[in-house]
Structures are given as C-alpha cells and as structure tokens.
Amino acid sequence: MRRVSSRALLAGAALTVAASLVHADDTRKEIEKYQRMTAESSPVELWEMEGADLWKQKRGPHNVSLERCDLGMGPGVLKGAYAHLPRYFKDTGRVQDLESRLVTCMTTLQGFSEQEATKRVFGNADKPSDMEYLAAYVAGKSRGVKMQVSTKDPKEKAAYEMGKALFFYRAGPWDFSCASCHGHEGKRIRMQELPVLSSPKGARGTYTTWPGYRVSVSQLKTMQWRLNDCFRQQRFPEPKYASDATIALTMYMAVNANGATYRGPGTKR
C-alpha cells in the first residue's frame, strides 16, 4: 500500500476463517461470524446485475427478451415469484421450479430448442452460465418475501409427496438417501453442519439462502446444481436437469421452508 489516508480502513476481501479453535462450539461461532462477514457484501450482487441485463436482452431465434416470462405471478412479474416456486403451470401441465420455468420461457418466448437452452446450465468461475445469472437475478427479486409454496393443486401435492419419498429413498452403491445426511440433528461433513431438511427449522434456514455464491469456488450455484451434486455425492446416477425428480425434491424442501422469509441469493463457504 503506497498511501492510505489515516481514517481509511481497507478491509480487503476479508474471507479468512480463524480455524485454530479446538472446541466445536467455538468453531461454530467462528463459522457463523465468517458467514456474517461474507454475506455483508457478497459478489452475488455481480450475478444479479448480469442477470438483470440478460433478462432484458433480446436473444434467440425470435429475438425477444425474457421480460414477458411468466414465473407464476403473471407475465413479467418477478417480485415474490421465487418465494412461490415450484408451482403448477397450466400451460406446460407440470409442476416447475425456477430453472425449468426459465427453460420454458427460453423455448416458448425466445425460440431456443430445449437442447440449446440447457446446453450449458452449470458454468465455471471463469465463465458462469446464463442460467446462473438469471437464477440469481430472479431469486433476488424475492428478497424479504415470505416463502409461500402451495400444495393445493393435486399435481403440486403429488410433487411434494414424490419429493418426500425421494428424500428418504435409499439406493445406490452406498445405500444412501438424502436423509442419511440431512435427516438427523447434529450431523456434519468436515466443518460444515448439515441441516435437517425434513424439518421446518432446517429447511427454512437453508432453502431461503439458495441459490448461493460459493466463496471457495467463486461461483454462484443454483438449486438444480445443488441437487445434482448431492446425487453425485451419494454415488447415484446423474439426474436429468430440471427433471420431475429434481423438481419434486425442490418442492419438498420449499414446502418445508414455508413461512420463512426468503433471504437469498446467499453466500456460502
């Protein structure tokens, strides 16, 4: 530093954890402190900004923007849309989460083929994907809105029940289910506490901060990515992007999180 004015405080990317603490309780407190610091000013805002531009950009064979995309609150209404997803959509006849609905809008409005729209959904740090930008932007428009995912429609109810069944379904070479890690209090993977996603407490704290920016990989991760990676960690076959199974699991967690205020997109370790 060449010259710093006397009162200027330079807190350059203070993203380090004091990991020298021995006791689990202290460790947890330090992790919470770290999470607060990273959430205070998060690069997730950069994704939201890019997403806002992308949303308005005329793209695809039809050369139109996504501004007329109906995410369930009416065409072009973004405020609170994410807090009400997944939901049943009459036009497609299925329950859809945010990402599958964005694919629908890209195909119906912009004229992309489904293959083109889902060609590159998970980006990397050097080149994030369009889906990641858009998911961050749309989810950010629900900040401060209460989670209110409906199970009134029979298809919504069915998706919830299927998600619940999948959550507890043990299979794969390791005989794992989602509940193996996320079904009991007090489980950890390395330093990370694992939320009990079958309980409102765990689901509320976790679901309302996804999608999230992962500091360790400098990327925004979507819910579809999170589920995909959970299946990988369980040594299951890779689920199809935006498949009914992944949407059902999202539905199960979202309904469990009902009543909590959406706080995302969040910042993760």
Report the nearest approach of other proteins to the CB of residue 266 (Å): 15
Q: How far apart are CA 187 and CA 173, in angstroms?
A: 21
Tokens 């959430």 locate to 39
Angle subtended at Cα 154 by Cα 148 and Cα 157, rounded to the nearest 5 degrees: 50
Give the one residue of 10, 22, 74, 238 binding other proteins; rule: CB under 8 A.
10
18 touches other proteins by CB under 8 A: no
Tokens 């807090």 locate to 83
Q: 146 by DSSP, 3-state: which?
A: strand
Task: Kindly tell me which of 39 and 64 has the beta carbon lying closer to other proteins.
Answer: 39
| Given the residues 105, 178, 181, 230, the one annotated as active site | 230
Report the nearest approach of other proteins to the CB of residue 9 (Å): 5
Q: How far apart are CA 134 and CA 140, in angstroms?
A: 10
9 touches other proteins by CB under 8 A: yes
Report the nearest approach of other proteins to the CB of residue 190 (Å): 20
42 touches other proteins by CB under 8 A: yes
Distances (CA, A) of 178 to 108, 169, 240, 249, 263: 34, 8, 17, 10, 24
Binding residues with other proteins: total (CB under 8 A) = 25
Q: Mark the segment that binds other proteins (CB under 8 A) among 6-14, 100-108, 168-176, 243-251.
A: 6-14
Give the one residue of 17, 35, 43, 145 binding other proteins; rule: CB under 8 A.
43
DSSP 178-232: HHHHHSSTT-EETTEEPP-TTSHHHHHHHHTT-SEEETTTTEEE-HHHHHHHHHH
Report the nearest approach of other proteins to the CB of residue 42 (Å): 7
Task: Kindly tell me which of 7 and 90 has the beta carbon lying closer to other proteins.
Answer: 7
* 91 Cα distance to chain centroid: 24
Q: What is the rounded radius of gyration, in angstroms, for the C-alpha atoms of the chain? A: 19
Residue 88: enclosing H or E segment and its boundaries? strand 87-89
Report the nearest approach of other proteins to the CB of residue 49 (Å): 5
Q: How far apart are CA 70 and CA 202, in angstroms?
A: 30
Lay out the site mask for other proteins across 172-191 (x = CB under 8 A, - = otherwise): --------------------
Of 178, 216, 217, 174, give the one whose Cα is nearest residue 194.
Answer: 178
22 touches other proteins by CB under 8 A: no
2 touches other proteins by CB under 8 A: yes
Is 230 annotated as catalytic?
A: yes
Give the one residue of 25, 91, 126, 238 binding other proteins; rule: CB under 8 A.
126
Q: Mark the segment that binds other proteins (CB under 8 A) among 39-47, 140-148, 157-165, 253-261.
A: 39-47
Q: Are 224 and 99 in contact (CB under 8 A)?
A: yes
Per CB under 8 A, which of residues 61..80 are in contact with other proteins? none
Q: 118 by DSSP, 3-state: which?
A: coil
Applying CB under 8 A, the residues found at the interface with other proteins are 1-13, 15, 41-43, 45-46, 49-50, 125-126, 215, 218
Residues recognised as catalytic: 230
